[in-house]
């Protein structure tokens, strides 16, 4: 994490503002006054899901701005008093607004599927439950900076001497101290005056921390398109409120009053829902000007994700009568993510309040004006896996263009909710297959299965909140398939190895016994062993069987077992894990290492024309405390040919008790 991103209020504003790249369109008003207005929901129909979620209906959304409206909006933000002359009277401000917003140029329309979005940004009272629970489990979790700095001011003051020693002459020493030791510090959700900020949006959290929190309750950060849809509804306006707002979708100083940031006392977080002008068209609170809201997408690129289209629009921008003063293109970077909605500090740079405003941030950025909002998908278990994938997931085993196919994810989940509608417990099991199995042009399933005996085949990722029956902990794992059986090269090598190793060990035992009888000293024995090792090395260099055995993880101790005489030890070894050879196996991997196995079923992988993934949560009649997640899913043999798939059956026994019904995928 960069300490610079944590500095005082003015600098915090600059940190986002300096990289700000807006894109605009418009939002429909929450109620009345606009033909495009979307009616507020009369009831929350989320069923067994947490009660703070509101549905965002599926529909189209416009993203990006055409050049003329874009130039006008930037001029209004730079010089609202006489925006038509901004290019003359406020040239630098106008230029800055254009430059920081130019990733939004060019308008396109996209379809967004129905999803749920939290009614308010995540509050301190909600995030503190996560911190408390993780600390109770012994995990190193860092509370937001201000919970310690102001919530536990006495502790902060007691540490000042230590801070000065560690960070001499550094005015930001306390921030640096918190960055390194935050997981050890006490915390309270209070402000400088000791007043509770439980209902204020949580800030001072990173993108990865936000994803970890979201995963803990089976949710995720929304995508940028989803936030666009929730902010704009069916409208086309550029500024919050549209026709309902002051000056009918043009920026003036009245907008600051409308969004509750006109006074000095407003330049801080507020209890959620305080500002009516910040409501979205579907009833969501604080969509604009409260705190920046992180998105789940990773990568900063043009808002419409079309670089060729952006280049054309950039050419038009450079021909515009006033906007051509912009000079530098945005610096697009794949490791960045995005925040949207502006914040209570955006009064300093009103261009941030445009509906399409977007600020690129690093995944370690941690700001007093940066928070988050939660999203929930229709597909059970989707959000848990989606979020964990962003916290930590090793992709080294993936082939070129191979990735998880989240659209084909299948899962089950269930919530236990508290009296306030917030989850007190979340359980899930979900599997996402890879988007294809082979890079060959015309692969055969039989050959692929046989090849998996040499090198297990990556088939997807499995995520669960429960401990596995095999001892593996809850979390996200890559899953590999190995067909049962012994390759001919291994069988031959095992037989040869058994003969030679057992023979060599018998001879060594005889020599040792003879030496003991002849009265040789210990040093003499060592010399004999050295000679034996030299001979053995020369012999091993030409023995193919030893190289083959090593490839499958087998040592001399494995090769002297009784089973090895017939060419099958009963297992191969990968990363220290014994993989049985008498049956199919699914291997769990994390952090690039195999860690455990799930036994295969009697159903072999089979090629079919098309397939819809399924899941069943089965309770063992004899073991009520065990639930088997039974996944059946299809994977295309090759990329971009979804009709030719291979069906797998994966069963994972989990430490889950029989209880509330599971939320399962809707049947077609």
Give me the pLDDT at residue 33, please: 32
Compute CA distances 471 → 389, 461, 468, 588, whole Å: 21, 18, 5, 11
Give me the pLDDT at residue 25, please: 29
Give me the pLDDT at residue 297, please: 92
Round the average pLDDT of the chain to a whole number and report it.
Answer: 88
25's CB contacts (< 8 A; 6+ apart) are 61, 62, 63, 64, 65, 107, 228, 232, 235, 236, 237, 238, 355, 356
The whole-angstrom distance between residue 297's C-alpha and the CA centroid of its chain comes to 8
DSSP assigned state of 421? S
Give me the pLDDT at residue 536, please: 55
Torsion over CA of 221, 227, 230 and 232, rounded to 10 degrees?
A: 170
- Which positions of the chain have pLDDT values less than 70? 1-47, 519-542, 622-623, 668
Q: What is the pLDDT of residues 610-665, one digit of tens each?
A: 788 999 999 877 667 799 999 999 999 999 887 789 999 999 999 998 788 999 99
Token look-up 């669960």 returns: 464
| Distance in angstroms (rounded) separating the CA atoms of residues 479 and 646 | 15
| Distance in angstroms (rounded) separating the CA atoms of residues 265 and 273 | 17
Domain range summary for the chain, segments of one domain joined by +? 3-119+222-375, 124-198, 393-484+583-654, 488-576
The whole-angstrom distance between residue 609's C-alpha and the CA centroid of its chain comes to 32
Q: Which two tokens stand for residue 586?
A: 């699914």
| Distance in angstroms (rounded) separating the CA atoms of residues 628 and 612 | 20
Q: What is the pLDDT of residues 290-345, one digit of tens each?
A: 999 999 999 999 999 999 999 999 999 999 999 999 989 999 999 999 999 999 99
Give me the pLDDT at residue 119, please: 97
Give me the pLDDT at residue 28, please: 31
Crossing angle of helices 488-518 and 544-551, in 10° steps, is 110
Give me the pLDDT at residue 618, please: 92
Give me the pLDDT at residue 442, please: 85
| Cβ atoms 376, 219 nearer than 8 A | yes
Give me the pLDDT at residue 97, please: 95
Q: Which two tokens stand for residue 193?
A: 């005056």
Give me the pLDDT at residue 664, please: 93
Provide the whole-model pTM. 0.88
Q: What is the pLDDT of residues 176-204, one digit of tens each?
A: 999 999 999 999 999 999 999 999 999 99
Give me the pLDDT at residue 266, please: 82
| Distance in angstroms (rounded) separating the CA atoms of residues 425 and 96 | 47
Give me the pLDDT at residue 6, please: 32
């Amino acid at each position: 994490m960069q300490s610079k991103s944590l500095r005082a209020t003015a600098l915090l504003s600059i940190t986002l503002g300096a990289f700000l790249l807006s894109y605009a369109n418009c939002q429909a008003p929450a109620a009345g006054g606009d033909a495009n207005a979307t009616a507020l929901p009369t009831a929350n129909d989320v069923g067994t899901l947490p009660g703070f979620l509101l549905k965002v209906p599926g529909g189209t959304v416009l993203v990006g701005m055409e050049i003329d409206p874009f130039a006008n909006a930037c001029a209004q933000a730079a010089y609202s008093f006489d925006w038509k002359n901004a290019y003359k009277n406020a040239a630098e401000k106008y230029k800055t607004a254009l430059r920081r917003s130019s990733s939004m140029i060019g308008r396109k329309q996209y379809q967004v599927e129905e999803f749920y979005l939290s009614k308010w940004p995540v509050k301190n009272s909600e995030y503190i439950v996560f911190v408390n629970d993780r600390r109770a489990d012994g995990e190193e979790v860092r509370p937001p900076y201000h919970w310690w700095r102001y919530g536990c001011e006495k502790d902060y003051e007691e540490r000042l001497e230590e801070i000065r020693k560690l960070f001499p002459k550094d005015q930001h020493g306390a921030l640096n101290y918190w960055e390194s030791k935050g997981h050890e510090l006490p915390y309270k959700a209070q402000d400088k005056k000791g007043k509770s900020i439980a209902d204020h949006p949580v800030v001072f959290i990173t993108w990865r921390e936000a994803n970890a929190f979201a995963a803990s309750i089976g949710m995720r950060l929304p995508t940028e398109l989803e936030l666009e849809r929730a902010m704009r509804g069916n409208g086309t306006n550029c500024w919050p409120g549209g026709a309902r707002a002051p000056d009918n979708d043009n920026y003036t100083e009245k907008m600051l009053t409308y969004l509750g940031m006109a006074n000095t006392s407003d330049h801080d977080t507020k209890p959620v829902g305080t500002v009516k002008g910040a409501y979205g068209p579907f009833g969501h609170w604080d969509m604009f000007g409260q705190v920046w809201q992180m998105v789940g997408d990773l990568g900063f690129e043009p808002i419409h994700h079309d670089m060729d289209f952006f280049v054309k629009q950039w050419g038009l921008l450079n021909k515009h009568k006033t906007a051509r003063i912009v000079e530098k293109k945005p610096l697009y970077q794949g490791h960045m993510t995005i925040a949207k909605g502006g914040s209570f500090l955006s009064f300093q740079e009103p261009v941030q309040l445009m509906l399409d405003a977007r600020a690129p941030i690093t995944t370690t950025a941690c700001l007093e004006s940066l928070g988050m909002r939660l999203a929930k998908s229709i597909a059970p278990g989707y959000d848990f896996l989606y979020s964990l994938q962003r916290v930590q997931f090793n992709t080294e085993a993936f082939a070129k263009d191979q990735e998880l196919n989240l659209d084909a994810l299948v899962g089950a989940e269930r919530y236990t909710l508290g009296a306030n509608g917030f989850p007190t417990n979340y359980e899930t099991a979900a599997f996402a297959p890879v988007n294809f199995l082979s890079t060959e042009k015309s692969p055969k399933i039989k050959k692929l299965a046989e090849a998996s005996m040499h090198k297990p085949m990556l088939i997807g990722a499995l995520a669960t909140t429960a401990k596995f029956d095999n001892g593996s902990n809850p979390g996200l794992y890559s899953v590999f398939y190995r067909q049962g059986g012994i390759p001919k090269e291994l069988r031959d090598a095992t037989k040869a190895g058994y003969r030679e190793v057992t023979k060599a060990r018998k001879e060594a035992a005889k020599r040792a016994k003879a030496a003991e009888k002849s009265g040789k000293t210990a040093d003499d024995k060592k010399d004999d062993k050295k000679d034996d090792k030299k001979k053995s090395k020369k012999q091993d260099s030409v023995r193919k069987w030893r190289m083959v055995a090593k490839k499958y993880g087998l040592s001399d101790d494995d090769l002297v077992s009784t089973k090895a005489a017939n060419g099958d030890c009963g297992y191969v070894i990968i990363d220290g894990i014994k993989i049985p050879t008498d049956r199919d196996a699914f291997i769990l991997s994390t952090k690039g290492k195999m860690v455990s196995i799930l036994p295969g079923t009697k159903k072999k992988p089979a090629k079919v024309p098309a397939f819809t993934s399924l899941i069943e949560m089965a309770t063992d009649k004899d073991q009520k405390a065990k639930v088997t997640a039974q996944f059946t899913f299809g994977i295309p043999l090759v990329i971009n040919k979804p009709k030719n798939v291979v069906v797998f059956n994966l069963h994972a026994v989990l430490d889950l008790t029989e209880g509330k019904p599971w939320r399962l995928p809707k049947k077609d």
